[in-house]
A and B are shown apart, each in its own frame.
Chain A
Amino acid sequence: MEQPEAGRSRVPGGYFGRALVVDVGDGSTRVLPLPERVLRDHLGGVGLGTWLLTELGPPGVDPLSPEAPLAFVFSPLVGTPLTTSAKFAVLAKSPLTGLLTDALASSHFALSGKLTGHDALVLVGRAVRPSVLSIHGSEVTLSSAGAEWGSSAAAAEAAVRRRLGGGWQVASIGPAGERGVAYATISHDGRHAGRGGLGAVMGSKNLKAVAVHATTKVAPADPAGVLAAAKDLRARSLGSATAKYRELGTMANVLAFNALSTLPTRNFQEAVFEGAPQLGAQELAQARGVTRSSCASCSIGCEHLYRDKGGRKVRMEHQNVSALGPMCGVSDPDAVLAASARCDELGIDTISAGGTIAWAMECVERGLLDVPWLRFGDGAAVLRALDEIGSGVGIGPLLARGSRAAAGVVGQGSLELAAQVKGLELPGYEPRTMQAMALGMAVNARGADHNRSGAYEADLSGDLDRLAGGVEHVRGAIESEDRAAVMDSMILCSFLRKVFDDPFAQWAQLLSLVTGWDLDAGELRATAQRIVLAKRAYNLREGWQPEDDWLPERFLSSTLTVGSGRTAALTAERLRDMVSGYYAARGLGADGRPERTVVP
Chain B
Amino acid sequence: MGSPKAALEWHGSTLLRRVTGIVSRGVDGRVVVVRAPGQPLPALPPCISVLDDPAEGRGPLQGIAVGLAALADEAETAFVCSTDLPLLHPAFVRRVTRDADGADVVLPVVGGHRQPLAACYRTAMAGYAGGLVAADRLRPAFLQEGTVVVELDDAALLSDPTLSRLDPDLDSVCGVNSPEDYAAARDRPAPEVTVQRFGVLARSGDRDRGAARAATLAAAAQAVGLTLSRQILAALNGDQMSRDPELPLVRGDVVAFLSADAGG
A interface residues (Cβ-Cβ under 8 A, vs B): 240-245, 247-248, 250, 252-253, 255-257, 259-261, 280-282, 285-286, 429, 454, 456-457, 459-462, 465-467, 494-495, 497-498, 562-566
Contacts and interface: CB of A to CB of B under 8 A. Distances in A.
Interface in B203-239: 204-205, 207, 231, 233, 235-239
B64 to A, nearest CB: 27
B200 A244 contact: yes
B239 A564 contact: yes
A282 B238 contact: no
Interface stretch (B12-20, B134-142, B145-153, B252-260): B252-260
B162 interface: yes
12 contacts: A252-B200, A255-B199, A259-B256, A460-B258, A460-B260, A462-B242, A562-B238, A563-B237, A563-B238, A564-B236, A564-B237, A565-B162
Given A244-B262, A247-B200, A250-B264, 17 more contacts: A243-B200, A243-B231, A248-B199, A252-B262, A253-B263, A256-B199, A256-B258, A260-B238, A282-B204, A429-B263, A460-B262, A461-B233, A461-B260, A466-B241, A495-B264, A564-B237, A564-B239
Interface centre among A261, A282, A457, A495 (most CB of B within 10 A): A282
Contacts of B231: 240-241, 243
Nearest to B256: A259
A457 B239 CA distance: 15
B243 interface: yes
A243 B198 CA distance: 13
Contacts of A429: 263
Interface in B114-138: none
B202 A282 contact: yes
Interface of B: 162, 196, 198-200, 202, 204-205, 207, 231, 233, 235-244, 254, 256, 258-264
Contact of A454 (B207, B233, B264): B264
A248 B261 contact: no
A456 to B, nearest CB: 4
B245 to A, nearest CB: 12
Contacts of B256: 256, 259-260
A248 B262 CA distance: 11
Contacts of B260: 460-461, 498
A243 B262 CA distance: 11
A252 B196 CA distance: 14
A85 B258 CA distance: 28
Contacts of B235: 259-260
Residue with the highest number of chain B CB atoms closer than 10 Å, among A241, A248, A252: A252
B238 A261 contact: yes
B258 A282 contact: no
Nearest to A239: B231
A495 B233 CA distance: 19
A241 B231 CA distance: 7
A178 B237 CA distance: 48
A462 B233 contact: yes
B228 to A, nearest CB: 10
Given A454-B264, A457-B263, A252 B198 contact: yes
Nearest to A456: B263
A216 B259 CA distance: 43
A255 B261 contact: no
Given A240-B231, A256-B199, A260-B256, A498 B240 contact: no
Given A454-B263, A462-B242, A563 B204 contact: no
Contact of A494 (B199, B207, B264): B264
Given A252-B200, A282-B202, A286-B204, A244 B259 contact: yes
A569 to B, nearest CB: 12
Contacts of B240: 462, 465-466, 564
A261 B260 CA distance: 17
Given A252-B200, A282-B202, A462-B243, A244 B238 contact: no
B233 A244 contact: no
Given A259-B256, A462-B243, A498 B261 contact: yes
A442 to B, nearest CB: 18
Given A240-B231, A241-B231, A460 B198 contact: no
